[in-house]
Structure 1
Amino acid sequence: MNISSAEVRSSETVQVRRFGTVDSVEQLTLLLHRAYADHTAAGRVFFASYQSPQDTQHRLSKGECWVTMNGNALVGTVTVSAPHTTPAGYPAPAGGGSFWQLAVEPTQRGTGLGQRLLALAESRIAALGSTQVVIDTSSQATDLVDWYRRRGYAPIGTWRWDVTNYDSVVLMKNLPTTAPS
């Protein structure tokens, strides 16, 4: 289903909610494949570009999955976890939160939907008790790395996953803390 950018910009038409039992893991997986296809075309094989529905379900089980819907159309997603467990040696402080599978329907890029999902991820991570967000992405995806840097993320190390074909840059952002009232 094609949705115009103007429709997505309208706050009345796009709804953000938790992924639920009535939602389709297969449709979510297809959204991820579409959203990450440009990386594959550039030679960067993100896991989300080829993961199976079973892989998607496994990744969903590790956190809270949020989706953005325009009517019945799935147009974006992000999964968050806090605190997030990382593999031994991964350059991240203990207790930090993370998010993954941040994806926007390719026809909806430039509408602010990615920023809205990023803000949601950061807000949920803070609500779950973490004061830092740690993520990683392909070091070769310079536009994406720059996008995160403009939003306050700074490189803190590198990592190599066995399900991708690139080295990742690990990025961290300190979240604002609120003083107790």
Structure 2
Amino acid sequence: MRLGNGELVEARPFAEGDSVARLTRLLHRAYSDHAAEGRVFFASYQSVEDTAHRLGRGECWLALRAGELVGTVTVAAPYAVPEAYPAPAGTGSFWQLAVGPEYRGTGLGQQLLTLAEERIAELGFSQVVIDTSAEAVELVGWYLRRGYVPVGYWRWGVTNYESVVLLKEMESGGHIQ
């Protein structure tokens, strides 16, 4: 991947030998601004064990620049939606989309989002569902500008906010609209 500033970043799956602790530190740094604003995303405080558990529920991708971990996303397709979750079964999802604070504004987040959507399509799913803090207006707007639409609300027991659930339809054949 080439960032907006011209830097090259390698995207690859999490592999044996990669550090879950290092990934957890990136997540804490990436979500620290939300926590400072009072929105306690799980990724802002999860333990190394929590990170390992979440990795085991999906396909984790790492973004590395010269060996430095600068971003990540975890893809799950199919996504096992909780009972009463306001989205259809049989969707793909992603979580732990994170970019190191020093890489914000470089296009890395958009590239990781595209990677997640493409992987979900490659796995044969025609819809992507995610959720995020309804209070994170800028973040929700970012997803809306990328084709996601609100379909409901959800409250997770590990956060201190109500989440807006967002869905994106893909064209037939698994291509992103």
TM-score (norm 1): 0.92
Matched with 1:129 is 124
SS in 2 for 1:68: strand
Superposed CA deviations along residues 101-159 of structure 1, whole A, max 9, x for unmatched, are 00000010000000000000000001111100000000000000000000000000000
**Structure 2 Cα separation of the partners of residues 105 and 178 of structure 1:** 33
Q: Percent identity?
A: 62
Residue identity in the other structure for 2:104: R
1:8–1:67 distance in 2 versus 1, CA, 3 Å: farther
Q: How many residues align?
A: 173
Which of 122, 135, 154 in structure 1 is aligned with 2:149?
154
SS in 2 for 1:103: strand
Residue identity in the other structure for 2:78: P
Task: Provide runs of 4+ in structure 1 moved above 6 Å.
Answer: none
**Structure 2 Cα separation of the partners of residues 93 and 77 of structure 1:** 26
SS in 1 for 2:33: helix
CA RMSD of aligned residues (A): 1.5
SS in 2 for 1:170: strand
| 1:44-63 correspondence to structure 2 within 5 Å | 44-63=39-58
Superposed CA deviations along residues 24-48 of structure 1, whole A, max 9, x for unmatched, are 0000000000000000000000000
Matched with 2:163 is 168
Matched with 2:133 is 138
Deviation at 1:162, TM superposition (A): 0.2
| 1:1-181 correspondence to structure 2 within 5 Å | 9-10=5-6, 13-178=8-173
What are structure 2's unaligned runs of at least 5 residues?
none
